[in-house]
Amino acid sequence: MTSAILEIEELTKAYAGSGRRALDRVSLCVWPGELVVVLGPNGSGKSTLLRCAVRLVDPDDGAIRVAGQDLARLGGAELRQARRSVAMIFQQAHLIRRRTALANVATGALGRHHDLATALGWLPRAELLEAGRLLDRLGLLHLAHKRADTLSGGEAQRVAIARGLAQRPRVLLADEPVASLDPQAAEDVLRLLDQLARQEQLAVVCVLHQPELAVRYAHRLVGMRDGRLVFDVPATAADPSRIAGLYRAEAA
Amino acid sequence: MSAAATVDEASSPSPASELLPRPTRESVLLRLALGLAGAALLGQASVVARVRPQDLLSGASGMADIVRRSVPPDVQHLQPALGGVLETFDIALLGTSMALVLSLPLAVLAAENVTPSRALYAIARGVIAVTRAVPDLVWALLFVTAVGLGPFPGVLALVVHSVGMLGRLFAETIEDIDMGPVNALRVTGASPIQIVSHAIVPGLLPSLIGIGLYRLDENVRSSLVLGFVGAGGIGFLILTAMNLFQYRQVATLLILTYLLVIGVERASAVVRGRLR
């Protein structure tokens, strides 16, 4: 078996003043081609896990190894370079509103280019062409010249995924990507994540709040509660009562 | 069914009715006292300002006389009047442009979320407070004394006052930026300079242009008044014509002023509307 592309080891984080650990020695390995869905109630540490993994939040302890390189130990230019292999999408698409879908996708490639070549909002022609190809592959080419703030929620989220792909990542993290989408758009986004895992051999980690969607799309299910990982099972072996137990008021 | 429910509601008040308690004696008295205090405040203001409605009546014939003597507007001396219009507009244009350039770095220092240091933040906020608090008319008086009569002290006055006004609005705009796209770009591995030029500036640009145009519009009106203290432009021509009792000339100047103000206001509104 090939080795894991993302190895999270004993990751620990306590937010200042909260007095409890948002993440308590969480370990998780993800292999290329896998769609791992993380479930858990509010405050269980799911989002913190993903935010720590890209260093939007700095963990207190532990390691985040991507292709063997530990992001927790990096800073400055080294961190920026390492971040390029991890794409992240959020609950909101967070596109730049006044630019076209095409330009937004191309900004995903900025990390590969020098400051001078991209000053004043310039985007390299080659990256715009690449962005067009990505949009085409996702069936979104008709949106290329539409401004980001005119896209529907589902369209914007898929454009945000295309921006992530423009990074040429090996890992794709998704923090509640369908929480503000209607059911049809949510299915479209999850189908796309599943397809990217299978066809592009991406390692996908997706936080969800809908157990029924999780069971249908996940290859592996991870349950979190109170900052700890409570189960990590293949989706085919998922036990509905254990999933329901995550959300019960008293500790499972 | 619904009638029965209504009767039921009337006989035993539901807990929801406690959300809207009847006003207490204290709250009624408090409102009465506030009302009286407001009336007293306005009363003292009209005494201090020596409001005398009868003056409006006795002054009516004088006003009518001025109006009679200002028609038809004098079109013989249109050329100097148009020169004054251009000068007023140019004072506002230069004053606003120079203030824009100066206020941007000041705003970055004075925005809580991006300021490089607390000391610079405090200094920048101080500069903004002083330049804003002193009206442009007072700055104009100071600069006319310092550099002499003419349009240039008018430009300087607008620059100093506008730096404060723009600096504060820009700083607030920077403080309100949506961090979502900024973080989204940061995690792609983009550099800080790329984040500024691709996420922050595009988000900010429409507000910056909009605020700048609005300031230009304000400054055109300000620069009219600055003329009265000797800082050039159409205001100075109005003052001169008034002093010489040339009311027909004043009428022409006022019509041109109206056209200038409305023109700039409309143009800036159209551009701002397109920016959304």
Counted across chains A and B, CB pairs separated by less than 8 A come out at 82
Q: Residue A240 and residue A231: Cα distance in Å, rounded? A: 12
Q: Residue A2 — pLDDT band, cuts 50, 70, 90?
A: low
In A, which residues are within 8 Å of B184 by CB distance? Answer: 88, 90, 94-95, 160, 163
Query: Region A211-227: what's the mean pLDDT?
Result: 93
Shortest alpha-carbon distance between residue B162 and chain A (Å): 26
Does the CB of B177 have a partner CB in chain A at under 8 Å?
Answer: no
In A, which residues are within 8 Å of B180 by CB distance? Answer: 90, 92, 94
A89-138: per-residue pLDDT in tens?
999 999 998 899 999 999 999 999 998 888 888 899 999 999 999 999 99
Domain contains B236:
yes
Instruction: Tell if the CB–CB gap between B190 and A110 is shorter than 8 Å.
Output: yes
Q: Which member of B183, B189, B203 has the closest CB to residue A96?
A: B203
What Rg do the C-alpha atoms of chain A give, in angstroms? 18
- The fold of the A6-95+168-246 domain, in CATH, is Rossmann fold (3.40.50)
In B, which residues are within 8 Å of A171 by CB distance? Answer: none
B-interface mutation test, from A98, A110, A165, most B Cβ less than 10 A away: A110
Token pair of A108, please?
């995903």
pLDDT on residue B4:
47
Q: Residue B12 — pLDDT band, cuts 50, 70, 90?
A: low
In A, which residues are within 8 Å of B190 by CB distance? Answer: 80, 107, 110-111
Mean pLDDT of chain B: 86
Instruction: Tell if the CB–CB gap between B202 and A107 is shorter than 8 Å.
Output: no
Q: Do residues B122 and B268 lie in contact, with contact meaning Cβ atoms separated by under 8 Å? A: no
Instruction: Tell if the CB–CB gap between B188 and A81 is shorter than 8 Å.
Output: no
pLDDT on residue A252:
42
B189 to chain A: closest CA residue: A80
Shortest alpha-carbon distance between residue A238 and chain B (Å): 32
Does the CB of B184 have a partner CB in chain A at under 8 Å?
Answer: yes
pLDDT on residue B13:
60
Query: Region B101-127: what's the mean pLDDT?
Result: 89
Of the candidate ranges A1-5, A122-126, B118-122, B148-152, the one whose mean pLDDT is the lowest: A1-5
Instruction: Tell if the CB–CB gap between A164 and B188 is shorter than 8 Å.
Output: yes
Q: Does the predicted TM-score (pTM) go above 0.80?
A: no
**Is the predicted pLDDT of residue A168 greater than 90, yes or no?**
yes
In A, which residues are within 8 Å of B204 by CB distance? Answer: none
Domain contains B29:
no
Query: Who has greater pLDDT, B136 or B12?
Result: B136
Instruction: Tell if the CB–CB gap between A99 and B202 is shorter than 8 Å.
Output: yes
Q: Residue B276 — pLDDT band, cuts 50, 70, 90?
A: low
Domain contains B192:
yes
For residue B145, the surrounding DSSP H or E stretch is: helix B136-147
Domain contains B198:
yes
Domain contains B12:
no
Instruction: Tell if the CB–CB gap between B189 and A90 is shorter than 8 Å.
Output: no
Q: Residue A191 and residue A197: Cα distance in Å, rounded? A: 10
CATH of residue B123: 1.10.3720.10
Please classify residue A251 by burial: count the beta carbons closer than 10 Å to its beta carbon, then call 0-12 exposed, 13-18 middle and 19+ buried: exposed
DSSP string, chain A: -PPPSEEEEEEEE--TTT-S-SEEEEEEEE-TT-EEEEE--TTSSHHHHHHHHTTSS--SEEEEEETTEEGGG--HHHHHHHHTTEEEE-SS----TTSBHHHHHHGGGGGGS-TGGGGGG---HHHHHHHHHHHHHTT-GGGTTSBGGGS-HHHHHHHHHHHHHHT--SEEEEESTTTTS-HHHHHHHHHHHHHHHHHH--EEEEE-S-HHHHHHH-SEEEEEETTEEEEEEEGGG--HHHHHHHTSSS--
**Is the predicted pLDDT of residue B192 greater than 90, yes or no?**
no
| ipTM of this predicted structure | 0.88
Domain contains B89:
yes
In B, which residues are within 8 Å of A118 by CB distance? Answer: 194, 197-198
**How many separate domains does chain B show?**
1
In A, which residues are within 8 Å of B188 by CB distance? Answer: 83-84, 87, 107-108, 110-111, 163-164, 166-167
In B, which residues are within 8 Å of A170 by CB distance? Answer: none
Angle at B121 between CA B116 and CA B123, to 5 degrees: 130
Domain that holds residue B258: 80-274
Find, among A179, A199, A202, A200, the residue nearest to A189 by Cα.
A179
Domain contains B263:
yes
Domain contains B119:
yes
pLDDT on residue B53:
83
Q: Which of residues 205 through 244 in chain B touch A, CB cutoff 8 A?
A: 205-206
Shortest alpha-carbon distance between residue B90 and chain A (Å): 29
DSSP string, B27-48: HHHHHHHHHHHHHHHHHHHHHH
Cis amide bond preceding B105, omega within 30? no
Q: Residue A78 and residue B198: Cα distance in Å, rounded? A: 21
